[in-house]
Structure 1
Amino acid sequence: MIAALYVETDGAYFGLPGVDPWDVTRDARTYAGPHPVVAHPPCQRWGRYWHGAPNKPHQYKLGADQGCFAAALNSVRNFGGVLEHPKDSHAWRYFGLAIPPGTGGWIKADDFGGWTCCVEQGHYGHFSRKATWLYAAGVDLPELKWGKSGQRIHPRALELHGYEKARRIGWMAMIGGKDKTRIRDATPAEFRDLLISIARTAVRQAA
């Protein structure tokens, strides 16, 4: 069994055999084991606009996530598994984790047996490149698809704006409506399966 922490209600981790999803209704901060975890702690207060929207800055404090990242980090360290956050997350420096190279490869993250790397979800089914930092502990470390993923150009953007602008604005700029944030933040099935497969190796290590 794998515990999927801080996941979207009825999202990618629901309905999978051997996966116990913890959405907002279950409060993943209270997870007490014993299964390895895949953790997606909220990133809003750790990212580029941690302080608030550009037109309304300084609304929030850095890291004011009600203890979600700290709890997720402890779960990975205590039970094995993997945690993901966007590239350049301020949580890495805040918690004393080493900054992984953008070119890829696992490096030692801390003195708790953790490892970290940078990988683009574009290699694993995301619309955009979506560079992501992983923190893993107590698991086998797989060789991933390192480096930059391929540029995806929306055909309508190409038609309207030409190659240079279409390349610059990217695919996600052409996805509108109220679901834009959800689509951008969603974990592609291929990347989800990769994270689950990493977490499952903690079971083998413990055996």
Structure 2
Amino acid sequence: MSRGWPRLAGVTRRDGLFIAFEGGDGAGKSTQVRLLAQALRDRGREVLVTRQPGGTDLGAAIRDLVLHGEHVSPRAEALLFAADKAHHVDLVIRPALEAGDVVLTDRYTDSSVAYQGAGRDLGAAEVHDLQMWAVGGLVPDLTVVVDVTAEEGRRRRGDVHDRLESEADAYHDAVRQHFLAMAAGNPERYLVLDGTESPERLHEAVLARLVAMGVVEP
């Protein structure tokens, strides 16, 4: 019996600001993280930039194992990514938010729901629940989805691919469609950007959204 669409946890009360950047491989997330971090620092905010997997020593080991090692079964892959997030949130993200900092992460729980839940066909609801348990229900104040087609992402990546990047375009298209579906289901917490626009225009759109949220000055 189907469990239906994954439910969304509420944003945990805290003093800091939590923003995640999501999207397919090659979309340009890292560029947007860098531009926003500088803009917020210029406005006097303390900013922590991190990524998943790889934001801790354990995360780096998991990243190397899953993305560059031998075959990992789909369920083991989902569990390893959940372990990374649980450790990362406890050691890095929550302490920074409690200190009042801005946390910018290159990927968070939505990547696991899209890549393992939809891409690996493990069930979006099941992977979502696993992720929410791992992070204690902590969800971003804003999730920015930088959207490009599977073909465009492959073109940008060139000839270098990790184990997930090397999957067929059908896999990456399933991932992309799930990101868009999650954003469409909760537009107040998501911002979808056309990744074919210039990095500067995308950055302006992110800042405009934060101004509209009342968390940064124009």
TM-score bracket, normalised by the shorter chain, equals 0.3 to 0.5
The two structures have a TM-score, normalised by structure 2, of: 0.31
Q: Which has the higher helix share?
A: 2
Bigger relative contact order, structure 1 or 2, given CA contacts below 8 A and separation 6+? 2
